[in-house]
Amino acid sequence: MEENHGSTKLYVMGFVLSLILTVIPLWLVVQHVFAKGMLTIVITAIAVGQLLIQLFCFMHIKDGEKPRYHAIALVLGAVIVFTIVAGSIWIMTFNSQVH
């Protein structure tokens, strides 16, 4: 089982980056840096950054001998995440509708 499980450097880097990307949105919220619309956009962008760090630093989506599994899993994951986010927005907009 001589597989590449990433270097210590990669893990430490990922860890530090995730910490930073966690502290920033917290600080933005606590300090009321942006107005609501802008805040939402920035936090969402940072969340996507977190996701990429997870995938590249911890989950090794680049290596492994069967990239086909990875591709299938990633596509499926993307579809489900899209469903959760877009579906929720679609379903919950009834709140703002005028009846």
Partner 1 sequence: MGEKSKGFFVTGDPLIYGADVAIIVTLLGIIIFLTVFKKWGWLWKEWFTTVDHKRIGIMYLVSSLLMLFRGGVDALLMRLQLAAPNTHFLTSQHYNEIFTTHGTIMILFMAMPFMFALFNIVIPLQIGARDVAYPFLNALSFWLFFFGALLFNLSFVVGGSPDAGWLSYPPLSEIAGSPGPGQNFYIWGIQISGIGSLATGINFLVTILKMRAPGMKLMKMPLFSWSVLSSCITIIFAFPVLTVTLALLFVDRYLGAHIFTADSGNPMMYVNLIWMWGHPEVYIVVLPAFGIYSEIVSTFSKKKIFGYKSMVFSMMIISILGYFTWVHHFFTMGAGADVNTFFAITTMAIGIPTGVKIFNWLFTMFRGRITISQPMLWTIAFIPCFVVGGATGVMLAIAPADYQYHNSYFLIAHFHQTLIGGVVFGYLAGLYYWWPKMFGFKLNERLGKWAFWTWNIGFYVCFMPQYALGFMGMTRRVYTYGWDMGWAPFNMVSTVGAFLMGIGFIFQAWQILYSIKNGEKDVTGDPWNGRTLEWSIPSPAPLYNFAVIPEVKHDDDWWETKKAMADSQYKKEPPQYEPIHMPKQSGIPFIMSACWFVVGFGFTFGWSYVGLAGLLGVGLCLLARSFQQETDYYIPVDEVRKTEASLGRVG
**Binding interface with partner 1 (CB under 8 A):** 69, 76-77, 80, 83-84, 88, 90-92, 94-95, 97
Alpha-carbon distance of 96 to 99, in angstroms, equals: 9
Shortest separation between residue 88's beta carbon and partner 1, angstroms? 6
Shortest separation between residue 94's beta carbon and partner 1, angstroms? 5
**Would you say 29 and 35 are in contact if contact means Cβ atoms under 8 Å apart?**
no
Shortest separation between residue 55's beta carbon and partner 1, angstroms? 15
Alpha-carbon distance of 88 to 6, in angstroms, equals: 36
Give whichever of 27 and 82 is closer to partner 1, judged by the CB atom.
82
Three-point CA angle 79, 81, 83, nearest 5°: 70
Chain-centroid distance of CA 69 in Å reads 20
Give whichever of 1 and 35 is closer to partner 1, judged by the CB atom.
1
